[in-house]
Each structure stands twice: as C-alpha cells, then as structure tokens.
Structure 1
Amino acid sequence: MASREQFSSNTGFVMAAAGSAIGLGNIWGFPTQTASNGGAAFVLAYFVLAFCLAYPALMAELIIGRHARANVVTALRGISTGPATYKLGSFVGYYGVIVASLILSFYAIIAGWMLTYLLESVTTMLGWVEAGLWLTEFGFERNLISMAVFMLLTMAIIAKGVAGGIEKWSTRLMPMLLVLLLVLIVYVLMQEGAAEGLRVYLLPDISQISPGLIVSAMGQAFFSLSLGVGTMLIYGSYLGEKESLPKLGAAVTLVDAGIAFIAGLLIIPAIYVAKQYGADIFTDSGDLIAGPDLIFQVLPVLFDSMGGVGLWVAFAFFLLMSIASLTSSISMLEVPVSLAAEETSASRFQATLLIGSVIFIFSTVILMNFDSLFGFVIDLTTVYSQPLLGVVMCLFVGWIWHRNNLLQEIQKGHADIEKTLFWKIWPAYVKFFCPVLILTAFIQSVI
C-alpha cells in the first residue's frame, strides 16, 4: 500500500478543493444553467441550496476522508458497523469511483473543445486560416485529438502525487484563473448591452422558481462542488489533524459559490453584449441559449466584433476555461487512481497510466456514439448519481458512524466544536434534513 501524502498547507488544500469545484461546472455550467432557468431566480436558489444542502454533504465527505486517510472504498468500509453496511460501503465506494470516471470521460471531451478554441485564437493571430477552421469545426478527429491532449495533461499532474502535482499546480493555476476572470469581467461590463445582462442576472423574478428550477440548482451545486463521487472525501484524507474541518469546508463552499457568481457576471452580460453585435441569443421558444452553443456560438460573435483586441480577449477567455477544466479534471482522476494505488501493487504512475487510458477509451466510445451517449452520460452522472451518492454519504455520517467517533474526529482540529452553532445544528441536519430534502427534489425531477 502506498504511503499517505498530505497537503502541505491550508492554502494548498483550499486551492486544490476550490480548483476541483471551480471548473466548467462554474464557468460554463452555472451561467448556462442560469441562462436556461430564469436568470436571477436560479442564482438565488443555487446560493440557498449550496449552503443548505451542498455544504453539509461536503462536511460529511471531508470528515470521513480525514478519519479514514484512505480511498473512498476503504473509507466507507472503515466506518461500517456490520456486514450489511460494509457491503453498502463497498458498493457506494466503487459506484462513486465509476461515476467520477464517467464524469471525466465526458468532461475531457468538453475540455478538449476549450483547448481547440484556445489554439484557434493563436492560429488566427498567425494567419493560419485553414488550421483555425479545422480547430473549430465539430469532427471526430479534432475531438479525439483534443480530448487525448487534455487527458495527457491531467495524467501528468496526477502522476506527480498530492503535494508535487495536485497542490503545486492548483496553487499556480487558481490565481491565474481569478485574474483572467476579473480582467474579462471589467472589459465586458464596459461594453454596450452589458447593463441589460446584469438586470437579468441580478434582479430575481420569484415567480419563476419551480420544482424543475430547484432540481437544476441542486444538481449544479453538487456537480460544482464535486460531491457524491468521493473527490472531497479523498482531499479530506490528505488533510492534517490540526485543521478545522468546518472552517475549511465553509471556505471551499464560499470560494466555489463566489466564483460561480463571478463567472455569471462575465457570461450573462457577455451574452447581451453579443446580442448588440447581431448574435442570436434566444432559442425558438424564446429562452436564452444555453449549453455548448452559448460558449461556442454566441461568445465568438462577441470576440469577432471587437476587431484586433477580440483575438486577445478570446485567447484569455479560452485559456481561463482550459485552466478551470484542468483544476477539476485532476480531482476526478484522483478518485480512481487513489483506489488503485492503495489497494493494488501498482505505483501511482502505473495506476494513473492504466486508469487514464481506460477513461480515454470510454471517451472515444462516447465520441463514436456522440448523439446517443454524450447527453445520457451527463444525466446519469450529474443529475441522478451524484445527488443519490450524496444522500448515502449523509446516511453514513448521520446513521451508521457513531456520533462520539464523529465528534472526536472534528475535535482534532477544533477542540471546542461542541460549543459551536455548527455542532448544535449539523449532526441532526445531516441525519434528517439533508437526505429528505435531496431525495424530495430528486423524486420530483424523476416524476
């Protein structure tokens, strides 16, 4: 079994955990979900659910992870109390590993598109027109190559380990991401049409809040924070015993929700700026364009309208998207790699190479059957699997793991936790309210 690494600092953990949370889920998913779910009404629902459901579930994963100091399967087995819960822990752990791998299989495809558009802005600057057209035209060959490049980047970081790979690159990439995001926001908000976008984004129409909107907001919160699949459990296992888990969990949730909100400040106004330049930003039904079309059809119109500076803005934007993709993909790959490295004789490098190759193959299968598999895998993992896995994590902490053991684990980094509002509310909340609320929203979505 491989020796257990640790994050070298709180900052390293927050950057890595925020990097996992802050990816396409925030900078692409959150604004497009906002665009297709009533604008500011969705933003309001998202923030409520991020702290009422996602934060308690995040705490469950961090506490289990640090206690077990192991991969997700071993961790859940370790807090089991009998044969039945041991089997449940094994099933949930392995299913979480599969879901994390499936998420990375479609995520790598989308991230590959970000890389092609990043390169297209460079080829356009150099006057390589044909290369630029190939990079932006949807095709199997382009998709396969760009996905392969992205997977290699992800594998290269994971193979280096926790401190030398995940933490090192997260602390480098995250500040760069924030700077790029803020620069682009300042630029876009100065353009004509941005004010209309801000109104849509910041002034909620409460009448638009519906069960469907709430389910979308819950799914976004869980996907954004990488919950249910063991990512945060793994990161928690790399934390030292002196760290206050409630404070670190709150910091990650705040940073994640904050970045999602800031990303919306860029994307939603940018849609309305693009409208000023002739982009068609509404669907036939009158809703704002969302999904891949938002990034790859609406925003390029905006960049083209800017003239020479538009190429640099496009370069900065897709560099931002590529960085965000990478900080999230490394956390997803760490889930299966940590299991293989700890439970088999394989080294971290061998585990990374093997599992990365398997995910690459499955991504290729998705590309070969794109119309039928791409949307199906996204719904299976993010809409259905992640919330249900999140429920089980809450059940393990609330019902299976002994309350005194739970308290002792949190006290390691927060000696007076019993006197805090967190301990007075969270144990009962994660035991009763979280599972019921998540399942209620989930059942409504299925019905």
Structure 2
Amino acid sequence: MQRDHWTSRFGFIMATAGSAVGLGNIWKFPYMAGAHGGGAFLVLYLVCVLGFGLSLVIAELLVGRMSRLNPVGAYRKVAGGAWPAVGALGVFTAIIILSFYCVVAGWTIAYLVYAVEGTLTPTRAGGLDALFDNLIGSGLTPLLYAFGFVIATILIVARGVGRGIERASKLFMPLLVVLLLVMAIRALTLPGATDGLWFFLKPDFSALDGATASAALGQAFFSLSLGLGGLITYGSYMSSQQHLGRDALAVVLLDTGIAILAGLMIIPTMFAAGMTPDQGGPGTTFKVLPAVFASLPGGHWIAIGFFALLVLAALTSSISMLEPVVAYLVDERRVSRTKAAWLAGAVCMMLAVPVSLSFGAWQGVTLFGMTLFGLFDYFASNLSLPFGGLMIAIVVGWILGPKAIAAIGPAGSTPGLWAQGWLFVVRFIAPAGIVWILVQGLL
C-alpha cells in the first residue's frame, strides 16, 4: 500500500501548525498570560517554546519520518521491545481527547449560531449564564453540534493527506490568521485598550515566580500538541528532502504567533471593558466575553468573528487527533482510510455521549471524584501527554542518539553544530521539564 505524503512544504507547515493551534491558543493562552503577569509570562513562554518545545517537535517529526509509520509502528521500528505500547497509549489518548474536545467544539458552534442570530446579549431572558447552563445541560442539542463537528473532521481526514488534511489546512489556517489579525487590530482601537497592550507586551519581571514558570512551561508543552502522536504521524508523511529543523521552527513560530495574536485580541478587549484578563476556560469564553463584546461598538461582528475563530482552531486541531488513530488502523490493521476515519469517528461520538451528559443528566455520576469530562481531561493533560513527551525524549535522545543527528537533515546532507545542541536539549533539558510538568499535574 503506497503511503500518503504532503504535496508541498507550505501544506505541511499549515497542517502541522494547525495540529498545534487549537482552543487552548485562543482562550487558554490569553488567560494564562493575564493571570501570570502579562509581559513577564510572555517572555518566559517564548523561552520555553524555543528552548524546550521546539526540540520535542523536531524529535516527534523525526521519529515519524524515520519510520514512515503511525505511532505504534514508529516506536516498534525505531526502538522495538515494549515501546510500541507507548505509541498505543498515544492513539488511545487521541480518541479520549477528541471525545471531550468535540463536546467543547460543539458549544463553540452553538455560540457561533447565537452570535449570527444576534442573541448573545446580557439582556436576553435569564442572561448569558443561563444561556450557557441551559445549552450544556440540555442533553440532545450539544450532542448534535458535537456530532456535526466530528463528522466534519471525518470527512476531511477520510480524503487523505494531500486531498483532505493538507487542502483543508491551506484554507483554514490562512483564514484563521486573517480573522485573528482583523480582530486584534479592532481590539487595539478600542478606548482603554492601550493599558491592556502594555500589560501584555511590557515585561514586569518582579511578577515572575515559581507558579509563573510552571504555567509557562506547561503552556509551551501543551500548546504544541506534544506527546500525542499526531506529530509523529504528520512526520511520517514528510519528504526525506525536507529540513526538519527549519520546517519545525516555522511550525512553532506560526503556532506561537497565533497565540500572541489571540492575546492581543483578548487582553486589550478585557481592559477596554474595565475587566482583568485573569479568568479562563468556558466561564470566560461563553459567559463573560459575549457580555464584553456586547458592550463594545460593533460587538455583534466581534462576537461572530471570535466564535468563527474558535470553530476554525478547533477543527484544525481535531484533524490531527483523528489522524493518528486512522493511520494506526490503515498501517496496522489494513483498514481502508475511509472506513478507518468513520470507525474512529464513531468511537469518539459514542464516548462523547456520556462526556456531554456529565454536564446534564449524568452530572452526579463521578469516578475518582471527577465527572467523566473531568476524568478524561485529567488523564490526558496530567498523565498521558506528559508521559508521551517524556518517552519520545528518551527514545530520540538515548536510544537513537547519534542516529537521530544523522537523520535530522535532508537526505545526503551533514547536520550542523545546531544538531548537537538539539540532542543535548532532548537528552537532558526536555526530560527535566516534562518531569516537572508531570509532578505539577499529579500534585
């Protein structure tokens, strides 16, 4: 069976950056920056991304390109032994994440509809708090939106790498950047937005502490979609002539640039509305920000643009969650791509039912003191993803070692001194950072 491949370097960068760009870039990064000192957090985040995250992105892409296989097959080929179990954990985690990610994406689609209808105003009956609570607790409605989101993901992935993932990413990613630029420019023209701009861009290093360092390190890790196996899968479609370091840097810079644009959009907007940007997650996104938008000139269009952004970001990320599962079924089980996409998507939709109901009829059902949504999120974010990142660092840094350096450049080239520095980071600095993230997650 001939393996799919990227048709262009631009397509690869758009797709791989899209895998990293998700809801966390648009809603979590501005909150983290707002809660941890603004500019000081931004500087530390950039240091972590370039000094830590970039090395792991290269490592995952390298394993994928060396193996030309899905995460399970990749670990088997480059490391052998029991290492394929690590790839299997990544595939399993992708299903788990997509099953609750699609629920949140469904809420986002619903709010885009509300924004278009013009009903996202604090004066509506019951207010915005009641609107959100009624949506997530209504049973069928959020599930229909979640199913629609998963089906859209399936249809893109089923078309393959070149005709599906790459083509969609070439459309969605530039559109997302344009929307973000327009929204950020609009935010910066609001009265009072200048205070938010200086808060975000002017570092106050007296605000730095251990909590800020942990937050920046964790955000750098999770914002790049590390530890999941998606980058291994995307790397398996790369040409042997592509320069891993250069292309990985382009991906990381694009992902980081989008997070910064999101900060330039959200933080000045919050300041303009007389609020502090230290609230995050669904509470701010679905309850607070619509009220903020409604209080601003042109708020109706701002709300439409914002939720359209969220839908696009969610979709580019969900594609990379489904693809490792599909690649596993195609490579290891010899299932056709179309059947694999629908099978994996169906499993995600089945799991999404109890996840969504954990906000409504099954709210009282808990495991280990958490709702199913909370349990899935905790397992993925606190355990599986950091563990996966640690394992890729060990495989590349210690099992492959010098072989990784030899394979990092385009075929026939000799890697420069930067490759030695990269291997040092993967061997020593990256594992230390990931262990810190694991410990913080467990605590």
Same fold (TM over 0.5): yes
Cross-structure match for 1:412 = 410
Give 1:40 deviation, angstroms.
2.4
Out of 301, 321, 332, the residue aligned to residue 332 of structure 1 is: 321
What letter corresponds to residue 348 of structure 1 in structure 2?
R
Structure 1 residue 354 corresponds to structure 2 residue 354: no
Distance in 2 between residues matched to 1:218 and 1:441, nearest whole Å? 7
Give 1:5 deviation, angstroms.
0.4
What letter corresponds to residue 288 of structure 1 in structure 2?
D
Aligned Cα root-mean-square deviation (Å): 2.3
Moved over 6 A (4+): 132-135
1:41-64, CA deviations, whole angstroms, 9 ceiling, x for partnerless residues? 322221111112111111111111
Indicate if the aligned counterparts of 2:26 and 2:259 stay in contact, CA closer than 8 A. yes
Distance in 2 between residues matched to 1:315 and 1:158, nearest whole Å? 27
Give 1:98 deviation, angstroms.
1.3
Distance in 2 between residues matched to 1:239 and 1:187, nearest whole Å? 38
Cross-structure match for 2:368 = none
What letter corresponds to residue 438 of structure 2 in structure 1?
F
Give 1:413 deviation, angstroms.
4.2
Indicate if the aligned counterparts of 2:53 and 2:224 stay in contact, CA closer than 8 A. yes
Give 1:313 deviation, angstroms.
2.0
Distance in 1 between residues matched to 2:244 and 2:421, nearest whole Å? 15
Structure 1 residue 100 corresponds to structure 2 residue 94: yes
1:126-162, CA deviations, whole angstroms, 9 ceiling, x for partnerless residues? xxx89x9997543332221111111111111011110
Cross-structure match for 1:253 = 252
Structure 2 unpaired stretches of 5+:
364-370
TM-score (norm 2): 0.90
- Distance verdict in 2 for CA 1:37–1:142, change over 3 Å: farther
Structure 1 residue 431 corresponds to structure 2 residue 430: no
Cross-structure match for 2:84 = 90
- Distance verdict in 2 for CA 1:41–1:61, change over 3 Å: same
- Distance verdict in 2 for CA 1:59–1:11, change over 3 Å: same
What letter corresponds to residue 109 of structure 2 in structure 1?
L
Distance in 1 between residues matched to 2:301 and 2:158, nearest whole Å? 33
Indicate if the aligned counterparts of 1:215 and 1:445 stay in contact, CA closer than 8 A. no
What letter corresponds to residue 303 of structure 1 in structure 2?
F
Give 3-state SS (helix, strand or coil) of 1:191's partner.
coil
Give 3-state SS (helix, strand or coil) of 1:252's partner.
helix
Cross-structure match for 1:300 = 290
Distance in 2 between residues matched to 1:14 and 1:234, nearest whole Å? 14
Give 1:311 deviation, angstroms.
1.9
Structure 1 residue 218 corresponds to structure 2 residue 217: yes
TM-score (norm 1): 0.90
Distance in 2 between residues matched to 1:259 and 1:226, nearest whole Å? 14
Cross-structure match for 2:367 = none
Distance in 2 between residues matched to 1:274 and 1:298, nearest whole Å? 11
Give 3-state SS (helix, strand or coil) of 1:272's partner.
helix
Give 3-state SS (helix, strand or coil) of 1:316's partner.
helix
Give 1:392 deviation, angstroms.
0.6
Distance in 1 between residues matched to 2:335 and 2:440, nearest whole Å? 43
- Distance verdict in 2 for CA 1:23–1:427, change over 3 Å: same
1:165-200, CA deviations, whole angstroms, 9 ceiling, x for partnerless residues? 100000011111111111111111111121121222
- Distance verdict in 2 for CA 1:422–1:226, change over 3 Å: same
Distance in 1 between residues matched to 2:418 and 2:23, nearest whole Å? 31
Structure 1 residue 316 corresponds to structure 2 residue 283: no
- Distance verdict in 2 for CA 1:204–1:411, change over 3 Å: closer
Cross-structure match for 1:42 = 41
Greater shift after overlay, 429-438 or 255-264? 429-438
- Distance verdict in 2 for CA 1:195–1:242, change over 3 Å: same
1:195-245, CA deviations, whole angstroms, 9 ceiling, x for partnerless residues? 121222122332333333323222222221111111111111101111101
Give 3-state SS (helix, strand or coil) of 1:86's partner.
coil
Indicate if the aligned counterparts of 1:97 and 1:336 stay in contact, CA closer than 8 A. yes
1:386-439, CA deviations, whole angstroms, 9 ceiling, x for partnerless residues? 222111101001111252x3233223347131xx23123112221122212321
Distance in 2 between residues matched to 1:206 and 1:376, nearest whole Å? 36
Distance in 1 between residues matched to 2:199 and 2:405, nearest whole Å? 44
Structure 1 unpaired stretches of 5+:
276-280
Distance in 1 between residues matched to 2:86 and 2:118, nearest whole Å? 48
1:88-140, CA deviations, whole angstroms, 9 ceiling, x for partnerless residues? x1211011111122221221111111111111122238xxx89x999754333
What letter corresponds to residue 428 of structure 1 in structure 2?
F
- Distance verdict in 2 for CA 1:313–1:352, change over 3 Å: same
Greater shift after overlay, 314-323 or 134-143? 134-143
Cross-structure match for 1:278 = none
Indicate if the aligned counterparts of 1:222 and 1:386 stay in contact, CA closer than 8 A. no
Distance in 2 between residues matched to 1:399 and 1:232, nearest whole Å? 20
What letter corresponds to residue 442 of structure 1 in structure 2?
L
Distance in 2 between residues matched to 1:199 and 1:27, nearest whole Å? 19
Distance in 1 between residues matched to 2:429 and 2:111, nearest whole Å? 44
Indicate if the aligned counterparts of 2:91 and 2:324 stay in contact, CA closer than 8 A. yes
